[in-house]
A and B are shown apart, each in its own frame.
Chain A
Amino acid sequence: MLRLLVSLALAAVGSAQSPLPQRYRDAGVLRWGADAEGGAPFVFVDGTRPGAGEVGFEVDLARELGVVLGVELRRVQAPYESLVQVLDRGDCDLVLNGFEPTPARRELVRFTRPYYVFQQQLSVGPGVTGVRGLADLVGRRVGVLGQSQSHQVLLAQPGIDIVVYESNVTAYEDVVNGRTAASLADLPIARALRPLFPRLVDVGEPFGAYYYAIAVRRGEPELQRALDEAIGALLANGTLERIYREWELWVPAEARLGDRDVVDAFARDGDDRAAAELHWGAVLSLLGTGALRTLGISVVSFALAVLLGLAIALLRLHGPRPLRWCAVAYVELLRGTPILVQMLLLYYGLGQIEGLRLDAVTAGVLGLALNYAAFEAEIYRGALSAIPRGQREAAQALGFTGAQALRHIVVPQALRLSLAPSTNDFIALFKDSSIVMVITVVELTKQYQMLANATGRFIVLGFVTSGLYLLMSLPLAYLARRFERRLDRDRA
């Protein structure tokens, strides 16, 4: 009660100097964007206690900010990589989600004063020796969350073989598996995940000083100042420290939150700096490399899918009974479960078994091939069944064995029937192939995301990337249409 009074008093003081813009006060709501998938300790769904729901130190922080500002803070779910866009579109009013004021982001949005100082923690696998700090990582594979502060830190240290992950959990997973030697992570995340990875060994003291700050749209300096003062109030009355201690996030470095240079670190005068010029040579070379990788992965995995799919279809129609059942089970299993889950199981699941640890590209190609084989098998089964009985009889009457009739008469005709639907499947696989980014493969879409996040040029890079996809898929679509026309002609 006393605290509430204090907060209200502070809110009154705050509104006297930098009031929350009128429209937010009218609405009584500020919507904050965050990704609950990012995990502990920021914003996450606690599944370990009944009825706990959405928790995290930022959930607590948001609640307290709301008290100071006199409005309700309502969370909006958005993917971490898209938080800036979601903010820009007006789907939320601020971003509060372990958001680091990187130079690229500062081009796009306005940041408040930092509300948390975080450091970096290096962790190595159980069998790794001789690593005492970043300098010892040269020539080794080191996992890191893409676009994170840790990623930047590693990039600044030449000679490290960096493997980029979609989440810190999978990055740690691969350290334990031995695919990578070490992983660098923001300290709060490292602390929160430590119970899940008891075999990881932390190396050295946490180092560096980086900041989380709240992002608002560029054109809203009033909102920024209102939030600045609210953060200041929570720091002054000890609320921040209390929250961070509750989450075991309080480190000595937090003492600097009140320092003038920290407070002003990301303040801007409001004028728009010109966006950095893209170096098109570098951009096209990166995207081109990504496109080639996409093409390679697609072609190899589809070739495998065709062979495997044909084998499955033949087994299903002509194999001995137990194998027929296996073929049916395979198709239903692979068609009936999400390819994302299959991919993660193949890479991280199998990765826990010593002899079955596939490298990322192999796992990606295999995952796509195994999944698409199920769809190809159904196409071929339909086509094989569509070949008239008389064709096999004619072959038999000429003395062909069953296998010879299949090979020379039935299968070639079925493949021709399948050409158009198969080509369409290939186009689909081609676009689906970006899913391999979840297992650290950097292909065209991932390369685009990384470039766009680093430069903030989402739209122009998006057009270039789409152009590259089209450049590769249009000839395929053209081929599919030609196959269809040719088939119609043959049947005439």
Chain B
Amino acid sequence: MIRLRGVTKRYDGRVLFAGLDLDLVPGRTTVVTGPSGCGKSTLLRLCNQLERHDEGAVSLAPIEIPAGLPHAAWQRRAAELRRRTGMVFQGYHLFPHLSVLANVTLAPRVVQGAARAVAEAKARQLLELVGMAAAADRFPARLSGGESQRVAIARALATEPEVLLLDEPTSALDPASTADVVAVISDLRRRGVTQMLVTHDPQLAKALADELVQLG
């Protein structure tokens, strides 16, 4: 599982973390909390290498990504790592030119080479799981925030990642939508999906955390 060892991250010479260790526990949900600007999102993005670290190592056995790799080698390993993780963004980032169904099937088809029929059957199951089966043929511009976030979760799960990373998945949502999304995340937690969730909402942290990491 994802493991950080002695990870240091600096922005413009300012140290955000120094020598941080972190182990995600398989089958459990790790919640990261802390005040705004303390580096929660950055920590999450280090886990799938959307950000590079300055010292230490990030690994997901057998992939090992020490700091300071040459760019090409880092790119290769980072892409490999990302193929085994899923990510849900605060702002959804659905692909607006694709239908809900195509949003979910694109990565399996392009990255994993899945056949269309297989990918679609799988995608419909996932949409069922997040309660969005009826929206398969709609386009993202026609979805509410909560619906978008649930589709984003289905999209992230479609490549069968070993771990799901969620960055403030509810902070842009109204209470009703938040409840829908939290229900989905709780459901995944019950099913034993390994998750790492960033939030600044203490209530949400308490409700969802198997492991709690306090930053800042």
Contact = CB atoms under 8 A, between A and B. Distances in A.
Interface of A: 388, 390-391, 393-402, 404, 408-409, 412-413, 416, 489-492
Contacts of B79: 396, 399, 401
Given A390-B89, A404-B111, A492-B141, A397 B48 contact: yes
A26 to B, nearest CB: 73
A391 to B, nearest CB: 6
Given A397-B89, A398-B107, A399-B79, 4 more contacts: A388-B93, A390-B89, A398-B159, A490-B141
Contacts of A490: 96-97, 139, 141
B82 A399 contact: yes
21 contacts: A388-B93, A390-B93, A394-B93, A394-B95, A395-B95, A396-B79, A397-B82, A397-B87, A397-B89, A398-B86, A398-B107, A399-B79, A400-B107, A400-B110, A401-B79, A402-B75, A408-B106, A412-B97, A413-B96, A490-B141, A492-B141
Contacts of A402: 75
Given A404-B111, A413-B96, A398 B155 contact: yes
B50 interface: yes
Nearest to A492: B141
B158 to A, nearest CB: 8
Contact of A399 (B75, B141, B159): B159
A399 B107 contact: yes
B164 to A, nearest CB: 11
A273 to B, nearest CB: 65
Interface in B127-162: 139, 141, 155-156, 159
Given A393-B50, A492-B141, A399 B111 contact: yes
What range describes how many residues of B lie at the interface? 20 to 34
B5 interface: no
B97 A413 contact: yes
Interface string B152-192: 00011001000000000000000000000000000000000
B91 interface: yes
Contacts of A393: 50, 89, 93
A427 to B, nearest CB: 25
A412 B94 CA distance: 14
A391 B93 contact: yes
B83 interface: yes
Contacts of B89: 390, 393-394, 397
B96 A390 contact: no
B141 A409 contact: no
A409 B95 contact: yes
B144 to A, nearest CB: 13
B58 to A, nearest CB: 15
Contacts of B156: 397-398
Which are the 4 A-B pairs with shortest beta-carbon distances? A399-B83, A394-B93, A397-B87, A398-B107
A399 B86 CA distance: 9
Interface string B79-110: 10011011101010111110000000011001
A408 B48 CA distance: 21
Given A397-B50, A408-B106, A390 B91 contact: yes
A402 B111 CA distance: 12
Contacts of A491: 96, 141
Among B89, B111, B141, max chain A CB count under 10 A is at B111
Nearest to B158: A398
Contacts of A404: 110-111
B168 to A, nearest CB: 14
A393 B93 CA distance: 8
A113 to B, nearest CB: 73
A270 B91 CA distance: 83
Contacts of A400: 107, 110-111
